[in-house]
Structure 1
Amino acid sequence: MKHIEQGVGLMSAPRDFIRDLNADNFSAGLVAGIFGLSAGIIHISAGLAAGLSQEFTLIWVISYLMINGLFGLFMPAYYRLPLPMANSIPGALLFASIIPVVGLEAALGATLIAGAISLVVGLAGWMGIVMRLIPMPIVMGMVAGILLKFGTNMVMPLQNAMLPAVVMILAFFFSARFLRRVPPLVVAMLVGIAYMAFSGADFSSVEFSVKFPEVIMPTFTLEAFLAYGLPLALILVGMETPAGVGLVKGMGFKSAPANAITAVGGLGTMVSAFFNLHSTCIAAPMTGICSGPEAGSHDKRWVAAVIVGIIFIVAAPFYGFVFSLIEAMPSYFIAIIAGLALLRVIGSAMHMTFSGKHEVGAMFSFLIAVSGLQILGIGASFWALVLGAGISMLVEFRDFDFSSKREATKEVKTA
């Protein structure tokens, strides 16, 4: 445990939460929470596309919200940092695709092993080495490439839903300019809801339901581990943690507990394996929302991440109802709100990508992430880091800092 970074603690967290809660971090947490709820649509779509039942996919999402919501309360509260927890979307796509091949229990067994690998990496303090091999400009190139789609999705409604898009975007910027005491995201959301009410959005298909996570016992096969467990472990250690740490540092925080994020994610993934869920890790897009300028002052942004955890836990049993509600909303609503919340985060990530060392590697990382390519069934986010770092080592080796073993050890302990 000596490599796990020390945090502020949990004893005073409830009191500090009430003290630090304000309109800015509340609105950022609400937006991030809604975004996280809407991400369940990806799981359901991937599950149905793979031939899995709607009942299975619904339990999958409920477990995602409940388990990651619980870990998402602990991490930001203990470290007083915006560290919302969710699950890996690339991992979700792998999980859905491998179940018809190896079976659910074997897939969950591979999940358990992947979580154990992540836990060992975090406890051993090896994330400092990983972060040295994948420098910040390359990480932020991947982050910028992944988040860029949220920016483009924000402006795409101008093509087919111009009036609500213009009204919501202008409401955001006008409120930022003239209503400084009211968070712009709240204004944009209220304007969007008002427009839906005025335009007569159809919510007649919304249905109420209650479900809870179910226990499933994993089994172990070599085929499942090689086809899914090992890639998932690489994604958790080599992509999810670096992306989350990069966002937190990119938003002006001096440090982020890389080893703890990896270890807790590994532990959460091991727990997840018994509840029909494929992973627990830091949530990059939601980290961007919770750690960005829209969440208010730096020392209070952690509250936004705690709010995400609360939303997940409360919404989990009722996700069938939440899902039908999200489906009834016009697609432009969440796209615009998420894009506005991430606007300045995207700008900061782009700036960090192209304004320092590792320019070639960072550019390749950005382009690969934007492309959305898949190699060996693994998504672009992972390959953006691997290939970006590899190309940078080839043509920009002097930009890497491998000065001494002592410094590397120090980096591991303080990352």
Structure 2
Amino acid sequence: MKHIEKGVSLRHAPRDFVRDLNVDNASTGLVAGILGLSVGVVHISAGTSAGLDSSFIMIWVISYLMINGLFGLFVPAYYRLPLPMANSIPGALMFAAVIPVVGLEAALGASLIAGAISLVAGLTGVMGMVMRLIPMPIVMGMVGGMLLSFGLKMVSPLEGAIVPAAIMILAFFISARLFRKIPPLVVSMAAGLAYLMVTGVDLSGVEATIRFPEFIMPEFTLSAFLTYGLPLAIILVGMETPAGVGLVKGMGYKDVPANGITAVGGVGTMVSAFFNLHSTCIAAPMTGICSSPEAGTHDKRWVAAVIAGAIFVVGAPFYGYVVSLLEATPGYFISIIAGLALMRVITSAMSIAFAGKKHEMGALFAFLIAASGIQILGIGATFWALVLGVVVSMIFETKDFDFLLETSKKRDAPESTG
């Protein structure tokens, strides 16, 4: 346990939550929570495409929200940092695709082993070493590429839904300029909702259902582990944690518990495997929102992450209703709000990646690969963005790696004869 970073404590977390709660972190927490709820639609789409039973798909999404919401309450409260928890989207896509091949119980068994690997990586300090070896410009190049799609989805509605998109975007910038005490995200959301109410939103198809996570016993097969478990472990350790940690550091936080985040994600993934869920990890896009300047001062942004976790827990049993409500809301609404919330995160990532003199080529490759969304060997683009970004930088920018220069100097130094 010596490698797990110590946090503040949970003893006074409720009192401190009330003390630090304000309009800024409450509004960004709401946006992050809504974004996380909308991600459940990705699970539904992936499960439906893979031919999975609709009842299982709903339990899968409910478990995603309930389990990760509970971890999302305690992790940011313990560390007093904006560290919302969710699950791996690339992992979700692999999980849905592999179930028809190896079976549900075997896929969950593979998730359990992947969680154990992630836990060991955190306990042994491997994650902290990984973060020290990957240069920050390359990490932030990956982050910028990963978040680029959110920015593009924010402006793309200007083509097909120019009136509501323009209203929401202009409301954000005008309020940021004129109304200093009102978070611009709140104004943008209010403007968008007002437009929807005026133009009329069909809510007749909205239905309320209540369900809870269900217990299941995983099974272990070598085939399932090699096909799904090992790639999932690589994603959790090599992609999800670096992306989340990079985002938080990019927002000015110096001490981010990389080992703790990885270990907690491992425990969460192991618990998830018994409840039809594939993983638990830090939620990179939600982290970007909760850690952004829109969430207020640095020492109070953790509240936004706790609020997002609470929204998950409350919304989980009623997710059938939430899905119906999201389906009744035009897709551009969430896309614009998420893009506006992440704008300053994207600019910060790009600045750190390319404003300096070091690792520029590696950062560029990391950005391009992450933005492309490619998959190699079934593993997502953000992982390969880090790997190939480091490789490119090691080949063309060797002098920028301080630890390589130190190793070279030690090797070339004359041995003492005394």
TM-score by length of 1: 0.96
Which residue number corresponds to residue 191 of structure 2? Answer: 191
1:244 to partner: Cα distance: 0.6
Partner deviation per Cα, 1:281-326 (whole Å, 9 max, x = no partner): 0000000000001000111000000000100000000000001100
Which residue number corresponds to residue 50 of structure 1? Answer: 50
Which residue number corresponds to residue 416 of structure 2? Answer: none
Which residue number corresponds to residue 278 of structure 1? Answer: 278
Which residue number corresponds to residue 413 of structure 1? Answer: none
Task: Say which one has the larger Rg.
Answer: 2
1:139 to partner: Cα distance: 1.1
Partner deviation per Cα, 1:209-241 (whole Å, 9 max, x = no partner): 000001110000111111110010000001111
Which residue number corresponds to residue 339 of structure 2? Answer: 339
**Other structure's SS at 2:210 match:** coil
- Point out where structure 1 has 5 or more consecutive residues left out of the alignment: 406-415
- Point out where structure 2 has 5 or more consecutive residues left out of the alignment: 408-418
How many residues are paired up?
405
Amino acid at match of 2:19: R
**Cα contact 1:133–1:389 (8 A) shared by 2:** no
Partner deviation per Cα, 1:360-386 (whole Å, 9 max, x = no partner): 111001001111111111121111111
For residues 43 and 127 of structure 1, what CA distance do their matches in structure 2 show? 28
For residues 275 and 241 of structure 1, what CA distance do their matches in structure 2 show? 23
Which residue number corresponds to residue 223 of structure 1? Answer: 223
- Is residue 377 from structure 1 mapped to residue 378 from structure 2 by the alignment? yes
- Is residue 294 from structure 1 mapped to residue 291 from structure 2 by the alignment? no
**Cα contact 1:132–1:401 (8 A) shared by 2:** no
For residues 109 and 133 of structure 1, what CA distance do their matches in structure 2 show? 31
Amino acid at match of 1:253: Y
**How do 1:171-186 residues align onto structure 2 when only pairs under 5 Å count?**
171-186=171-186
Which residue number corresponds to residue 250 of structure 2? Answer: 250
Which residue number corresponds to residue 410 of structure 1? Answer: none
1:402 to partner: Cα distance: 1.9
**Other structure's SS at 1:60 match:** helix
Which residue number corresponds to residue 111 of structure 1? Answer: 111
For residues 402 and 80 of structure 2, what CA distance do their matches in structure 1 show? 30
1:390 to partner: Cα distance: 1.4
**Other structure's SS at 1:180 match:** coil
**How do 1:9-408 residues align onto structure 2 when only pairs under 5 Å count?**
9-356=9-356, 357-402=358-403
Amino acid at match of 1:197: M
Amino acid at match of 1:69: G
Partner deviation per Cα, 1:395-414 (whole Å, 9 max, x = no partner): 21221232679xxxxxxxxx
**Other structure's SS at 2:205 match:** coil
Which residue number corresponds to residue 7 of structure 1? Answer: 7
TM-score by length of 2: 0.96
Partner deviation per Cα, 1:98-122 (whole Å, 9 max, x = no partner): 1011000000000000000000010
**Other structure's SS at 1:39 match:** helix
For residues 327 and 208 of structure 1, what CA distance do their matches in structure 2 show? 14
Which residue number corresponds to residue 408 of structure 1? Answer: none
Amino acid at match of 1:301: R
1:133 to partner: Cα distance: 2.7
For residues 44 and 401 of structure 1, what CA distance do their matches in structure 2 show? 46
For residues 286 and 375 of structure 2, what CA distance do their matches in structure 1 show? 23
For residues 255 and 206 of structure 1, what CA distance do their matches in structure 2 show? 44
For residues 279 and 134 of structure 1, what CA distance do their matches in structure 2 show? 24
**Other structure's SS at 1:402 match:** helix
For residues 383 and 58 of structure 1, what CA distance do their matches in structure 2 show? 31
For residues 56 and 401 of structure 2, what CA distance do their matches in structure 1 show? 46
For residues 352 and 94 of structure 2, what CA distance do their matches in structure 1 show? 30
Report percent identity of matched pairs. 74
Deviates more, 1:286-295 or 1:46-55: 46-55
For residues 40 and 134 of structure 2, what CA distance do their matches in structure 1 show? 30
**Cα contact 1:32–1:286 (8 A) shared by 2:** yes
